[in-house]
């Protein structure tokens, strides 16, 4: 199957001058002469944990496997350069052949890779009697701009998010647009003091940022931007839209901090066409608080991977 897949990809993928050696050799060779940094991230998703193959178009699954890695690069303020993709394919997929499944997964990745000028440089395939698993490793660069990290926040900084939160299970966890352009601007223009993406839930991911910056946060709960999907989901779960926005996870929006002056400008103008909302303030101490320190303490909630 692998030779057929390689041949298909060779006829499908658009060439890139940065890729000096690509599919067909034992390893890829990237031209990195104009770079002095390398940002690397990897994520693995699998059937029955992150999606249900029997229910979802494989193209959406393939797209998600790439998008979540681009979101990690965005959280570092890096531009995407290239990815390698490893597929562990079921021998008897629910629809079609193993080769058809692999081809459809790549069909989901390719438009997103082209959108962000990201090379699909190679990877590996194997098959077994278990469920589908996809591992993508992404390479990026920050160039002369400093990388965004979780540890740079300061007391008095405001806490901000891009977009809207909650209800991703209704479909946005497959179809979201990674905030690569937004993260890149935050880095290039030195706008953020700390940043990460929201993959496991606002409260849980915020607790990780606070730990790295050794600070506490006071959240303005009414200000948190909840999505229409969160409201729709609340109709059936018994939770409020806000509860979904706080803990659903897989929103893949940017969570970042900035000075009050910078935050006011970003809220007014947005970033690269994306809305920005201020949702709280960072202070000395520890924990996540509603309204004020010593008020209601919010426990980190979200999706914990096994």
Q: How far apart are CA 46 and CA 197, in angstroms?
A: 20
Are 128 and 237 members of one domain? no
Residue 117 domain flag: yes
Residue 40 domain flag: yes
Residue 151 domain flag: no
Residues across the chain: 306
Asked if residue 47 belongs to a known ligand binding site, the reply is no
Range of the domain at 112: 2-141
Asked if residue 72 belongs to a known ligand binding site, the reply is yes
Are 64 and 189 members of one domain? no
Asked if residue 291 belongs to a known ligand binding site, the reply is no
Residue 213 domain flag: yes
Asked if residue 123 belongs to a known ligand binding site, the reply is yes
Asked if residue 26 belongs to a known ligand binding site, the reply is yes
Total of domains in the chain: 2
Return the minimum-mean-pLDDT range out of 1-5, 17-21, 162-166, 238-242: 1-5
Asked if residue 42 belongs to a known ligand binding site, the reply is yes
CATH at residue 46: 3.30.1330.10
**What are the tens digits of pLDDT across the range 229-252?**
999 999 999 999 999 999 999 999
Residue 150 domain flag: no
Higher pLDDT, 122 or 175: 175
End-to-end CA distance of the chain: 32
Q: How many CA atoms lie within 13 A of 226 on its CB side?
A: 22
Mean pLDDT confidence for 186-213: 97
pLDDT for res 304: 64
Asked if residue 41 belongs to a known ligand binding site, the reply is yes
pLDDT for res 11: 63
pLDDT for res 291: 84
Asked if residue 214 belongs to a known ligand binding site, the reply is no
Asked if residue 261 belongs to a known ligand binding site, the reply is no
Q: How confident is the model at residue 112 (pLDDT cuts 50, 70, 90)?
A: very high
pLDDT for res 302: 83
pLDDT greater than 90 at residue 21: no
Asked if residue 167 belongs to a known ligand binding site, the reply is no
Are 16 and 133 members of one domain? yes
Q: How confident is the model at residue 295 (pLDDT cuts 50, 70, 90)?
A: confident
Higher pLDDT, 126 or 293: 126
Tell me the whole-structure pTM to 2 decimals: 0.92
Mean pLDDT confidence for 17-42: 78
pLDDT for res 34: 77
Asked if residue 281 belongs to a known ligand binding site, the reply is no
Are 132 and 197 members of one domain? no
Residue 54 domain flag: yes
116 neighbors 180 (Cβ within 8 angstroms): yes
Are 52 and 178 members of one domain? no
Are 165 and 88 members of one domain? no
Asked if residue 106 belongs to a known ligand binding site, the reply is yes
CATH at residue 261: 3.90.650.10
Residue 31 domain flag: yes
**Complete edge-to-edge strand list for the sheet that includes strand 119-128:** 39-46, 133-141, 79-90, 119-128
Are 128 and 18 members of one domain? yes
Asked if residue 250 belongs to a known ligand binding site, the reply is yes
Residue 303 domain flag: no
């Amino acid at each position: 199957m692998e030779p057929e897949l390689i041949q298909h990809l060779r006829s499908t993928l658009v060439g890139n001058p940065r890729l000096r050696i690509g599919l067909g050799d034992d390893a890829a060779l990237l031209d990195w002469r104009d770079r002095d940094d390398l940002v690397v991230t990897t994520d693995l998703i699998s059937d029955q944990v992150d999606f249900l193959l029997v229910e979802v178009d494989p193209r959406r699954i393939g797209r998600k496997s790439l998008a979540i890695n681009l979101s990690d690069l965005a959280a570092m303020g890096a531009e995407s350069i290239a990815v390698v993709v490893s597929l562990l394919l079921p021998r008897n997929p629910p629809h079609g052949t193993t080769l058809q499944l692999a081809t459809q997964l790549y069909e989901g990745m390719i438009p997103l890779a082209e959108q962000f000028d990201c090379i699909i440089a190679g990877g590996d395939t194997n098959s077994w009697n278990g469920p589908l698993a996809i591992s993508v490793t992404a390479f990026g660069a920050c160039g002369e701009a400093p990388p965004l990290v979780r540890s740079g926040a300061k007391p008095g900084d405001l806490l901000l998010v891009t977009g809207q939160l909650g209800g991703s299970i209704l479909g946005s966890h497959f179809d979201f647009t990674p905030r690569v352009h937004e993260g890149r601007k935050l880095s290039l223009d030195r706008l953020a003091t700390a940043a990460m993406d929201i993959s496991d839930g606002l409260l849980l991911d915020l607790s990780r940022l606070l730990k790295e910056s050794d600070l506490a946060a006071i959240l303005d709960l009414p200000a948190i931007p909840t999505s229409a999907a969160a409201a729709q989901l609340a109709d059936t779960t018994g939770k409020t839209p806000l509860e979904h926005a706080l803990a659903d996870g897989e929103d893949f929006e940017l969570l970042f901090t900035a000075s009050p002056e910078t935050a006011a400008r970003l809220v007014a103008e947005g970033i690269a066409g994306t809305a920005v909302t201020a949702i709280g303030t960072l202070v000395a101490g520890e924990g996540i608080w509603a309204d004020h320190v010593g008020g209601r303490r919010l426990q980190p909630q979200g999706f914990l991977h096994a």
